[in-house]
Amino acid sequence: GSLLCDALARRRSFGGELVDLLEHLLAHDRWATLSLLEASRDLNEIQLDREFDIGHRTLRQTYQHLIHNIAFWSGLMVGRPLGGNPSEVSPDDSIDALIARFERTHTAFADLAKQLAQGRRLADTFVDHYGEKATFGGAILHNVLHSAEHRTEALHILRRLGVPNLEETDLLLWEYTVWRAR
């Protein structure tokens, strides 16, 4: 197998428990994004749509883009590309609607990623939106890293909006506080 396939599928011992690196990464990705979405619940429409000089300009547009990207790449990987423009999302998306869409989209993405890993297909390729061959493993990692980049932007916006008591979404902090406590 390829290094990518082996690295993602490898299990490591952690405190006597075997850890699947891909499942670990996906679980953190889900938790971190949901943490920020939940932290946004008390914001009003003006705050959600306030423009900042970062990324997709507003918190709502940042979340919409992050969620759309997961669905976009999942669609490409299964041969059903999404139509439309990712910027053509509803300006009326509530945080509840975004959370529901994220949970559906991320669950489908995580299930697909695990299925590909279990089938040892992470090094297999599909054709992306540029007509180029991309590996499934590369697309999975791209999705997770892309979400992390936009979570950083969302966290920056939340701080500038004065949202108190924001959780750090660092993977090791998650591991110390959330994952070990389960």
Determine, yes or no, domain membership for 182: no
8 A C-beta contact, residue 62 and residue 153? yes
Determine, yes or no, domain membership for 177: no
Determine, yes or no, domain membership for 145: yes
**Average pLDDT over the chain, rounded to an integer:** 88
The pLDDT tens digits of the residues spanning 142-176 come to: 999 999 999 999 999 999 999 999 988 999 999 98
Q: How many structural domains is the chain composed of? A: 1
pLDDT score of 8: 45
Determine, yes or no, domain membership for 92: yes
Extended beta strands in the chain, E state:
11-14, 17-20, 125-127, 133-135
Question: CA 130, 145, 10 angle in degrees (round to 5)?
Answer: 105
CATH code of 16's domain: 1.20.120.450
8 A C-beta contact, residue 67 and residue 105? yes
Of all residues in the chain, the percent with pLDDT exceeding 90 is 75
Determine, yes or no, domain membership for 128: yes
Residue-wise DSSP of 74-94: HHHHTT-PPPS-TT---TT--
In this structure, what token pair is assigned to residue 172?
Answer: 């090791």
Matching residue, tokens 């902090």? 173
Determine, yes or no, domain membership for 180: no
Say if residue 128's pLDDT is above 60: yes
In this structure, what token pair is assigned to residue 84?
Answer: 């439309």
CA 8 from chain center: how many Å? 17
Of all residues in the chain, the percent with pLDDT exceeding 70 is 84
| Residue 14 bridge partners (DSSP) | 17
The pLDDT tens digits of the residues spanning 17-76 come to: 556 899 999 999 999 999 999 999 999 999 999 999 998 999 999 999 999 999 999 999
pLDDT greater at residue 89 or residue 131:
131
Phi, psi at 133, each rounded to 5°: -80, 135
Residue-wise DSSP of 98-124: HHHHHHHHHHHHHHHHHHHHHTT-TT-
Matching residue, tokens 């969302």? 154
Determine, yes or no, domain membership for 175: no
d(CA 46, CA 111): 35
pTM for the predicted model, two decimal places? 0.87
User: Mean pLDDT over residues 114-136, rounded?
Assistant: 96
Say if residue 101's pLDDT is above 80: yes
Say if residue 15's pLDDT is above 90: no
Parent domain of 110: 3-169
d(CA 178, CA 171): 10
Say if residue 138's pLDDT is above 70: yes
